[in-house]
Amino acid sequence: MTGRRPFWLFTALAFGYAFLYLPIVTLIVYSFNDSRLVTVWGGFSTRWYGELLRNEQILAALWLSVRIAAMNATFATVLGTLAALTLVRFARFRTRMLFAGMVAAPLVMPEVILGLSALLMFVTLEQMVGWPAGRGMTTITIAHITFTTAFVAVVVQSRLSQLDGSLEEAAMDLGARPWKVFLVIILPIISPALIAGWLLGFTLSMDDLVIASFVSGPGATTLPMVIYSSVRMGVSPQVNALATIIVVVVSTGVVVAGWLLHRQGRRRQS
Amino acid sequence: MMIDIRKTLGATALLALAACSPAEQPVVHVYNWSDYISDAVIERFEEQTGIKVVYDVYDANEILEAKLLAGRSGYDVIFPTAHPFAERHIEAGLYLPLDLAQLPSHRNLDPILMQKLQSVDPGNRHTVPYMWGTTGIGYNVEAVTAILGEEAELDSWSLLFDPETAESLSGCGIAVLDDEGEALAAALLYLGLDPNTTDPDAIQAATDLFMSVRPFIRYFHASKYINDLANGDICVAHGYSGDVLQARDRAEEAGRGVEVAYAIPQEGAVLWVDLMAVPADAPNPEQAHAFIDFLMVPENIAEITDEVAYANANRAATEFVDAEIRNDPGVYPTDDLRERLVTLDPLPDDVQRARVRAWTQIKTGR
């Protein structure tokens, strides 16, 4: 490691990082902008943070989005894991191709179509059986689950297919029931994939604008919907302030998680 | 274990009680454009009537339309744009006919505007106007006067359609709305023709007019001109009054010496109106009427106009509006000019097809 690294390597690295993080840095810098114009610098100020904390509409939408995202991620992880298990474990059943295709379909389906079809389904259901009564948080969560399950299934499936089958056989040889094998052997091994799937589901749900716009009802406006609808009048720097807070929270989470993993890894080595 | 069950039961009972408590507060579900109302007015409505307002926002008429068409949207008051949305919603029977007995403030509305809205809502039975504006010309005052001279007429479509003027302005940039109806209407108005014409020759004339200035138009876009005007990147834009006034405010706030102004061309301009309506399957029609009536009280709607800077459709409210907004001819045109505003009407399919074809030809420049 004594040789000088090629100059262009650093340049490429710098460009790469700039490409990825410059937009976020700009966003954070402008959240401290005194001017109401998002694109013009008017001096340092934290007034947008104050206004954000008083903006009930944005805060309510944020809280709603977080609740939907958490619930969606949990359900999608359970369903996605079940789907992945089915696909990996049961190598051959009659409708396997159909099932695999159906699980993956939402990955390639345009969101507009998913949203519209979910909306029509909810309306028809309401007319036929009276549930869901009106649309709101429940319907958004259900619609989100249907499309995030596909993503979770893909993540978990790749982990499961790398799983060494002999571990399972050994456990069964030693007298474990299938349920116990699943709980004690498989689940811990695929837990990183489950966590990844959960986080992915959370992010996808927080992000989603199109589907939520279709299936939301009175009193259920998610954060992306509030932000997008305010674009018509020009984005307020409050959105920058909110995004900055989210970035800070997320990066803290990532740093803590990384530190924990690192510590765990060291402990395992010693 | 017993305790757990008892606790759960207790909690469930409490929840059930809360859900069907007898003193349930009446609600009204309002679905409006974002930043299109004054929060203080909503709070006052809640205080005075005891009705809770659940307020949601949308960003496009299409979203509203999708929800209405699917049915059981759950909203009580909506704010669709008159043309073409409310028009086809009314035709499809999506709105509840309004009960004027529950709307005593209805008499405050502007008769000229109500008359013009007849083409959208025959008899004004389903809707009342909320805010309105025009599609005219936004320009950079300094840049345009520097090129055309102090005496030039700036309140005319000739800025766009006179080839000589357009050529001299092309250097600093002309933008046209990417909207077939609006753009062809502007050309037809400049030619002194009916903007809702079904005559193929008139449409051809408008197309030829556009083609003669086509090389001088920098771009066709629905909203990009707002920022470009504010930054001084273009100097003439065919655009919506609200957007141009927003560009003016942004330019002021930026403080870089760009002055944007809005003019309603003397040849006439297209009028757009956002309406208030009640969906046919609204769960709380009575509260919806109360809300709409509250917004037709002059003091209330004037307060909203002060906040959003659009003209309201309430004759009696004008005196309560902030003088700066009230005296701005871009927002509140004179009666004389008001008469020359036109609404876009629905056109037969074959005419519409011909217009869209003409518009494609104009945009591609071939």
Residue A175 sits in which domain range?
A: 65-236
Count of structural domains, chain A: 1
Contact (CB, 8 A) for B277 and B86: yes
**Residues B212 and B176 occupy one common structural domain:** yes
Which percentage of chain A shows pLDDT scores above 70?
A: 94
Q: Give the best residue of A37, A114, A223 to mutate against chain B (max B CB count within 10 A).
A: A37
**Residues B226 and B293 occupy one common structural domain:** no
Count of structural domains, chain B: 2
When pLDDT is cut at 50, 70 and 90, the band that residue B3 belongs to is very low
Q: What is the pLDDT of residue A2?
A: 47
Average pLDDT over residues B122-148: 92
Chain A to chain B Cβ contacts (< 8 Å): 72
Contacts of B35 in chain A (CB under 8 A): 230, 232-233
Pick B57's closest partner by Cβ from A120, A217, A229. Answer: A229
Q: Is there a domain that residue A222 lies in?
A: yes
Task: Identify the H or E element spanning B44.
Answer: helix B39-49
Here the CATH number for the domain that contains residue B105 is 3.40.190.10
**Residues B69 and B164 occupy one common structural domain:** no
Reading phi first (left if > 0) and then psi (alpha if -120 to 50, else beta), residue A219 is in left
Q: In chain B, positions 215-254, which contact chain A (CB-CB < 8 Å)?
A: 226-227, 246, 250, 253-254
Interatomic CA distance for residues A23 and B57, integer angstroms: 27
Q: Is there a domain that residue A70 lies in?
A: yes
Q: What is the pLDDT of residue B4?
A: 47
**Closest listed residue to residue B128, CA positions, set B263, B318, B361, B312:** B312
**Residues B102 and B234 occupy one common structural domain:** no
Q: Is there a domain that residue B5 lies in?
A: no
Average pLDDT over residues A238-249: 89
Per-residue burial over B240-264, b if 16 or more Cβ lie within 10 Å, else e, is: bbbbbbbbbebbeebeeebebbbbb
**Closest listed residue to residue B234, CA positions, set B245, B222, B224:** B224
Residue B201 sits in which domain range?
A: 134-270+344-364
DSSP letters for A122-183: HHHHHHHH--S-S-SHHHHHHHHHHHHHHHHHHHHHHHHHTS-HHHHHHHHHTT--HHHIII
CA distances from A40 to A24, A35, A89, A227, B252 (A): 17, 7, 57, 20, 12
**Residues B115 and B143 occupy one common structural domain:** no
Contacts of A233 in chain B (CB under 8 A): 34-35, 246
Q: Is there a domain that residue B8 lies in?
A: no
Q: What is the pLDDT of residue A232?
A: 62
For residue A137, the distance in angstroms to the closest alpha carbon of chain B comes to: 13
A204-239 tens-digit pLDDT: 999 899 999 889 888 888 999 888 887 666 667 888
**Residues B128 and B139 occupy one common structural domain:** no
Here the CATH number for the domain that contains residue A94 is 1.10.3720.10
Cβ distance A234 to B75 less than 8 Å, yes or no, reads no
Q: Is the pLDDT of residue B5 over 60?
A: no
Interatomic CA distance for residues A168 and B143, integer angstroms: 78
When pLDDT is cut at 50, 70 and 90, the band that residue B299 belongs to is very high
Q: Is the pLDDT of residue B348 over 70?
A: yes
When pLDDT is cut at 50, 70 and 90, the band that residue B2 belongs to is very low
Contacts of A136 in chain B (CB under 8 A): 74
Pick A232's closest partner by Cβ from B29, B56, B59. Answer: B59
Q: Is there a domain that residue A42 lies in?
A: no
Interatomic CA distance for residues B237 and B264, integer angstroms: 12
B193-251 tens-digit pLDDT: 999 899 999 999 999 999 999 999 999 988 788 888 888 889 999 998 888 988 888 88
Q: CB contact, 8 Å: B62 with chain A?
A: no
Q: Is the pLDDT of residue B190 over 80?
A: yes
Detail the DSSP E strand segments found in chain B.
Answer: 27-33, 52-58, 77-78, 127-140, 174-176, 219-220, 236-240, 260-263, 269-277, 311-312, 341-342
Average pLDDT over residues B304-319: 89
**Residues B30 and B54 occupy one common structural domain:** yes
Interatomic CA distance for residues B139 and B144, integer angstroms: 7
Cβ distance A123 to B72 less than 8 Å, yes or no, reads yes
Q: Is the pLDDT of residue B23 over 80?
A: no
Q: Is there a domain that residue B338 lies in?
A: no
A72-90 tens-digit pLDDT: 999 999 999 999 988 888 7
Q: In chain B, positions 273-332, which contact chain A (CB-CB < 8 Å)?
A: 283
Q: Is there a domain that residue B339 lies in?
A: no
Pick B75's closest partner by Cβ from A218, A228, A230. Answer: A218
Whether the bond into B84 is cis, omega within 30 of 0 = yes
**Residues B231 and B296 occupy one common structural domain:** no
Q: Is the pLDDT of residue A53 over 50?
A: yes
Average pLDDT over residues B75-79: 94
Cβ distance A37 to B254 less than 8 Å, yes or no, reads yes
A54-74 tens-digit pLDDT: 888 889 999 999 999 999 999
Cβ distance B70 to A228 less than 8 Å, yes or no, reads no
Alpha helix stretches (DSSP H) within chain A: 7-31, 47-54, 56-89, 96-108, 111-129, 137-161, 165-173, 178-180, 187-207, 210-215, 223-230, 237-269
Q: Is the pLDDT of residue B14 over 50?
A: no
Interatomic CA distance for residues B359 and B180, integer angstroms: 6
**pTM for this structure?**
0.77
Cβ distance A218 to B57 less than 8 Å, yes or no, reads no
**Residues B287 and B359 occupy one common structural domain:** no
Q: Is there a domain that residue B159 lies in?
A: yes
When pLDDT is cut at 50, 70 and 90, the band that residue B346 belongs to is confident
Q: Is there a domain that residue A198 lies in?
A: yes
Q: CB contact, 8 Å: B66 with chain A?
A: yes
**Residues B29 and B164 occupy one common structural domain:** no
Q: Is there a domain that residue A119 lies in?
A: yes
Q: Is the pLDDT of residue B32 over 50?
A: yes
Q: Which residues pair with B138 in a beta bridge?
A: B237, B262
List phi, psi (to 5°) of A198.
-60, -45
Q: What is the pLDDT of residue A233?
A: 61
When pLDDT is cut at 50, 70 and 90, the band that residue A44 belongs to is confident
Contacts of A225 in chain B (CB under 8 A): 57-59
What average pLDDT is seen over chain B?
87
For residue A150, the distance in angstroms to the closest alpha carbon of chain B comes to: 26
Average pLDDT over residues B102-130: 91
Q: Is the pLDDT of residue A198 over 70?
A: yes
Q: Is there a domain that residue B262 lies in?
A: yes
Q: Is there a domain that residue A207 lies in?
A: yes
Pick B72's closest partner by Cβ from A35, A126, A219. Answer: A126
Q: Is the pLDDT of residue B22 over 70?
A: no
Q: What is the pLDDT of residue B104?
A: 93
DSSP letters for B46-86: HHHH-PEEEEEEES-HHHHHHHHHHS----SEE--BIIIII
DSSP letters for B247-305: HHHHHHHHTSS--EEEE--TT-EEEEEEEEE-BTT-S-HHHHHHHHHHHTSHHHHHHHH
Cβ distance A216 to B66 less than 8 Å, yes or no, reads no
Q: Is there a domain that residue B337 lies in?
A: no
Q: What is the pLDDT of residue B15?
A: 43
Pick A231's closest partner by Cβ from B54, B59, B66. Answer: B59
Q: What is the pLDDT of residue A18?
A: 94
Interatomic CA distance for residues B95 and B123, integer angstroms: 14
Give me the sign of the Cα torsion angle B161, B165, B167, B173. Answer: negative
Cβ distance B250 to A233 less than 8 Å, yes or no, reads no
Q: Is there a domain that residue A12 lies in?
A: no
Query: What is this model's ipTM?
Result: 0.71
What average pLDDT is seen over chain A?
87
Does A3 or B25 have the greater pLDDT score? B25
**Residues B110 and B141 occupy one common structural domain:** no
Q: CB contact, 8 Å: B31 with chain A?
A: yes
**Residues B185 and B58 occupy one common structural domain:** no
Pick B70's closest partner by Cβ from A123, A218, A229. Answer: A123
Q: Is there a domain that residue B255 lies in?
A: yes
A90-99 tens-digit pLDDT: 777 788 888 8
Q: What is the pLDDT of residue A46?
A: 87
